[in-house]
Structure 1
């Protein structure tokens, strides 16, 4: 293959994989299987190593996150990130317009922009390379979150063929699209985690995570809308936006150049209704004077520019009647209350249901059946009950009481200390839990079984074809029964059985995640697979041994032990073993760099400044050392970082085991 064809191939792969990432993470509409995507990514990574001269600075292989950030460094903004004056009143906009006219006359234009409901960010580019990303903070200084921001797929690390100045800052907003928010929030709820109230909070929480590798797994997007540099490059704000688009920045297409305040108001009225059709949240419109020289003439107040203002939309709300409260049981047994409302038009859609989150919310609102309630749809994706109109409460109205028994199977609900959700513990006989677990097992992120979908699993369960995950692997013996299912022809059956057979090749970590153990998400499953090597070790592991594994806390350890203490679960695993599923981690061949640590044993605990725990483990093993899962008299060294568990420290001190830092470890290799 010629050099030019290699470069063309690599460029095409970058473009294709970036589009697949956008389809999957942002639009939540994947057009390729995970396995196929991973294989293409591996191939691109291989080509980049063989031909580094053709590697794209914005390759998807680079946007997977770096080392853990122990503390975010505070950075002073070169140009302060001032806030805008806000108004909810059209007359205030007309008054703003009059003040502009008195200062600079009648000859000026406005630029109208969507006001994104996200996290403000400032990016610095030096010689076309992204050098720093800083949060707004207090407007004067913010946190350096460069490693996290570099994982966002549509933020360029390098500007290609750009006639940009050698040093400039660009301002924008990081956000999460609604489809991605709903998917991730649902996953959090299923794992028993607290859900986020809205996409803005989720995006903000993600950017402040310490591990960029975890940030990379959460789909964020960014829009940019202004820039700063030492000297004037453009005469108008509109020209600068066009340049930013050309340089590869994500600039909203829904921006308008307006010649007067009436056109501005038309834009505001249009988006007041159309905003609900966007895939992300906006909470208003920003209006800016277009000319940079006129902006300078208008100047600033102590807090905000005189040449810009934001018009904020009021959260859409309406009054309706609470008809009843129903309860949904998820695959992990969490029981979620849902308000069923008298249908009412809100923000362009008919609302019949609203979230109640948990029992605490019912108690806070003091809900009674038949209450007149105020429902809001602002930053919330799902409508939320804000309050009750007590003046309209009917005499003798029946108070809503959260159930003590599972609404699906009648089992007594439990609530663990420190948690907000109630759970049904009957996971082996509660219908929605059974169906949910099987649906989770076949999902893309778990076993990724082609030819099976949620509706098919529901149908199979109703017909008695599957009652457990293991039943999927004996469907091949029920071919005649399958043929009797409507719209399920021979080709469909063949594809499904092929997909089930191929799933036997999925690695241990995917099988473990697919089991649906509470609190065991993708990352935890991977850590457990690496840390325990096989299912038998995992089943036999004590809480102490489990918490010695990277990122495994006490709550996760207790959940794992509780899961495997149920004979029904171990029976299922034995069946899956007999059907050929993978329950052992693939051993990674370690190339020895030296034998300086041969015969020495180590436990790694805490967070480190310069290396991740996995990197320290690799350093130790590649120099002949051995990693132990727990502290005992056999241990030679405890490699201690920040936030190390106090019980580990206490035990190590009792046994007189030397505590060493990551720097001390590297000294041992000299």
Structure 2
């Protein structure tokens, strides 16, 4: 994992680099998932594996349009082993998102409270995170009938016979139990049992295991159940899957029911009355960690109220109501050799630390992000300093602090450049922003090439054969100055074929690839323009709202006028807001940009945006505004439901608004709706309409 792309900070990746990196990560993580979950023979440490998963998640967060169908973020574990029958989980066995410090945990709590529309703190149940093998146990009329591994989260392996050999798996539940219930837990091996097993394995010339987790997984997943019976396996039960009837109102009460039925529940689990208790509990468990009989790598925090869990639901492959707070990552010290300035496609000047290579958490690190000039000044980072490096919640290597005792005598404070290192243009820092930007625009070679690379990248025009190297080659030749020039390259097919490294077939393939992209969806077209703050998600919002290129262009030109209805409408689109609206109006307020846009559009067929499939919806295609306090749902829930039914949700009322849903304490928006004659309805009327 030491190639150049892997070492590139995520905030410095181009779209093409990010796509290539996601492809590599998907392949590498799938390989290690199979080694870990299917063959019980991991090839890397947990820390190294976490680095891969966090880097993948961070790249997807920055480039959401690049998320792959085989993304590790939508997959849990590995495919079931071929030697076992397959069991499809009635409720998927998903994994948890991770926190790495108190800030991460607090942000998780804020997100949950915001989604629920709550201000009061949440109660949690804290459980040590066991490093074992997740399993599912199904009971019918109190009798154990089936057991399965997690597998890929959707489908696992039937290991019923093996689980029956474990004393900690009750064959019959004590007392009353639902007619059918699925109970989930973790099979593990204690440290003492692991050492004894490995000693016996070595004495008999058999395979020794790398750690207790691998020993537990390998022991449970034996074709011959007699081998499992001879292995010292344990189980902690901690979660519920499908159930034919409610069991408890809180997770804490559910854990008590598990104990009543005959299961072992981790005795260190604790109910926390508020969010503030989590950090104290975490510190306590960290101190006890080395003395525990089993391996843990963090603490799982679950919102106690099961009704709130159901409301929160899931996002991606993880629940919104639980998080795994991992123990701290490794740190290392190294020497800062140089601070280099990168110029991005939007002109942002980003400082990057060039380091003496050092191993941190299983990864050889030679570069780290310095974020911006304020960060350098705050930490007083100087060339030649010995620095503390860390890989924690963020997969980007971070410089935590400077070891001032080792500072060279003549080290000077770093002065951030005020001119662009690529073109010499003045670099300005807009008021209120942390980033300095080059003013050179298209005259800046760093930006021009980067913008063309962005233009042909996978989530944009996705033109095969036009990678960074080729873009740079044709730019240097004088063939590419703006995006419309890309579609004139087929006219140079003969010239391209004679260039070094090219031939008739490769030139022909490039020409065909370009011609195949003359028809493009509106959202990709908008994204490809590289307008600042217009990523793939915002491009989709704009395309969905305006429908066609012609309408979008017309409304954007109208929005250039401050105070116009078009500008008000743009800024009120849910998810856009005034800051992004200003970036768009700045773009369309520059005549040269509009000329470039029209020159490009003349080469293309731009497809209208696809509308949401809302057959039979009473609000499909209508523009909806919510105002006031809603009592039966939060604002995010209401907006999501409206959009799922094909409506357009905006944040302000205009003549184009179709419905205003008026909650408690509604103010100016309700009055404006009345003035404009826009249809209004109460929250109850709205629910009746959509349900």
1:608 to 1:317, Cα distance in 2 relative to 1, 3 A: closer
Mapped to 2, the partners of 1:437 and 1:615 lie a distance apart of 34
1:564 is aligned, of 571, 577, 588, to 588
**Counterpart contact for 2:189–2:294, Cα < 8 Å:** no
Alignment of 1:355-434 (within 5 A): 355-434=369-448
The residue that corresponds to 1:580 in the other structure is: 604
TM-score, with normalisation over the residues of structure 2? 0.55
Give the whole-Å Cα distance in 1 for the aligned partners of 2:619 and 2:354.
64
Q: CA deviation at 1:514?
A: 0.9
Query: Tell me, which stretches of 5 or more residues in structure 1 are unaligned?
Result: 1-21, 32-112, 119-150, 177-195, 212-221, 272-287, 621-626
Residues in 1 aligned to 2:362 and 2:614: alpha-carbon distance in whole angstroms? 61
Shift in CA distance, 253/518, structure 1 to aligned 2, threshold 3 Å: farther
Alpha carbons of structure 1 residues 379 and 252: separation in structure 2 relative to 1, 3 Å? farther
Alignment check: 8 A CA contact 2:133 2:213 kept: no
The answer to whether the aligner puts 1:337 opposite 2:323 as a matched pair is: no
| Structure-1 residue corresponding to 2:570 | 546
Q: Tell me the distance in 1 between the aligned counterparts of 2:397 and 2:26.
A: 24
Question: d(CA) in 2 for partners of 1:225 and 1:640?
Answer: 47
1:327 to 323, 341, 345: 341
Deviations 1:110-163 (A, max 9, x none): xxx958869xxxxxxxxxxxxxxxxxxxxxxxxxxxxxxxx934599xxx9867
1:536 matched to which residue of 2? 553
What is the DSSP-based 3-state SS (H/G/I as helix, E as strand, rest coil) of the residue aligned with 1:551? coil
CA displacement at 1:349 relative to structure 2: 5.4
Cα distance in 1 for residues equivalent to 2:108 and 2:587:
33
Q: Residue 416 of structure 2 aligns to a residue in which SS? A: coil
Q: Quick check: 1:495 aligned with 2:509?
A: yes
Cα deviation, 1:477-512, whole Å, max 9, x if unaligned, reads 333442343211111111111111111111122111
With over 3 angstroms needed to count, the CA separation of the structure-2 counterparts of 1:391 and 1:422, relative to structure 1, is same
Specify the SS of the correspondent of 1:336.
strand
Aligned partner of 1:614 in structure 2 is 643
Shift of 1:544: 0.8
Instruction: Quote the Cα distance in structure 1 between the aligned partners of 2:362 and 2:185.
Output: 26
Q: Distance in 2 between matches of 1:628 and 1:203?
A: 26
> Which residue of the other structure, out of 465, 469, 475, is the alignment partner of 1:451?
465
SS in 2 for 1:440: helix
Q: 1:362 to 1:586 in 2, by over 3 A?
A: closer
Question: What's the CA shift for 1:332?
Answer: 1.9
Alignment of 1:260 with 2:195, yes or no, is yes
1:176-202 alpha-carbon deviations (Å, 9 max, x no partner): 9xxxxxxxxxxxxxxxxxxx999x999
**Cα distance, 1:586–1:114 mapped onto 2, change above 3 Å:** closer
Matches within 5 A, 1:94-243: 152-154=74-76, 172-174=95-97, 225-227=134-136, 233=144
SS at match of 2:388: strand
Distance 1:662 1:497, change over 3 A: farther
Verify the 8 A CA contact 1:413 1:422 in the aligned structure 2.
yes
Return the offset for 1:428: 1.4
Taking the aligned partners of 1:255 and 1:484, their CA distance within structure 2 comes to 65
Is the counterpart of residue 478 in structure 1 residue 492 in structure 2? Answer: yes
| 3-state SS, counterpart of residue 351 of structure 2 | strand
Matches within 5 A, 1:10-29: 28=25
Q: Does the 8 A contact of 1:331 with 1:433 survive in 2?
A: yes
Matches within 5 A, 1:60-99: none
**Distance between the aligned counterparts of 1:668 and 1:311, measured in 2?**
49
- Aligned partners of 1:656, 1:434: CA distance in 2, in Å? 49
C-alpha separation between the residues in 2 aligned to 1:478 and 1:543? 42
Distance 1:555 1:209, change over 3 A: farther
How far the C-alpha of 1:354 sits from its partner, in A, is: 1.7
Q: Which residue of 2 aligns with 1:144?
A: none
Alpha-carbon distance change, 578 to 629 in structure 1, aligned in 2, over 3 angstroms: farther
Matches of 1:397 and 1:387 in 2, distance apart?
16
2:494–2:504 Cα contact (<8 Å) kept? no
Map of 2:296 onto structure 1: 310
Match of 1:659 among 655, 676, 680: 680
The 2-side partners of 1:569 and 1:197 are apart by: 44
Distance 2:187 2:491 in 1: 55
Given the superposition, is the C-alpha separation of residues 203 and 489 from structure 1 closer, same or farther in structure 2, using an over 3 Å criterion? farther
Q: CA 1:201/1:30 → structure 2, altered by over 3 Å: closer, same or farther?
A: farther
* 1:70-101 CA-partner distances (Å, limit 9, x unpaired): xxxxxxxxxxxxxxxxxxxxxxxxxxxxxxxx
What's the counterpart of residue 631 of structure 1? 653
SS at match of 1:361: helix
In the alignment, what sits opposite 2:630?
none
Verify the 8 A CA contact 2:236 2:264 in the aligned structure 1. yes
The CA deviation at 1:351 is 3.4
Summarize the Cα distance change of 1:203–1:396 in structure 2 as closer, same or farther, 3 Å threshold. same
Q: Is the 8 A contact 1:241 1:251 kept in 2?
A: no
Q: Residue in 2 aligned with 1:300?
A: 267
Report deviation, 1:411. 2.6
Moved more, 310-319 or 241-250: 241-250
Distance in 2 between the 1:334 and 1:350 partners?
27
Indicate yes or no: 2:545 matched with 1:522: no
Task: After TM superposition, give the deviation of residue 369 of structure 1 in Å.
Answer: 2.0
Aligned residues of 2:493 and 2:508 also touching (Cα < 8 A)? no
> What secondary structure is seen at the aligned counterpart in 1 of 2:377?
helix
CA distance in 2, matches of 1:494, 1:448: 17
Aligned match for 1:509, one of 509, 512, 523: 523
Partner deviation per Cα, 1:45-74 (whole Å, 9 max, x = no partner):
xxxxxxxxxxxxxxxxxxxxxxxxxxxxxx
- Seen in structure 2, the aligned counterparts of structure 1 residues 297 and 169 have a Cα distance that, compared at 3 Å, is same
1:528-585 per-residue CA deviation (whole Å, 9 max, x = no partner) reads: 1232232422422333121233422112111111111122211111111221341x62
SS of the equivalent of 2:337 reads: strand
- Paired with 1:241 and 1:630, the residues of 2 have a C-alpha distance of 47
Structure-1 separation of matches of 2:405 and 2:136? 52
Q: 1:13 is matched with which residue?
A: none
Is the CA contact (8 Å cut-off) linking 1:608 and 1:662 kept in structure 2?
no
Equivalent position SS for 2:134: strand
Q: Does 1:555 align with 2:555?
A: no
Task: Return the match for 1:436 from 450, 453, 460.
Answer: 450
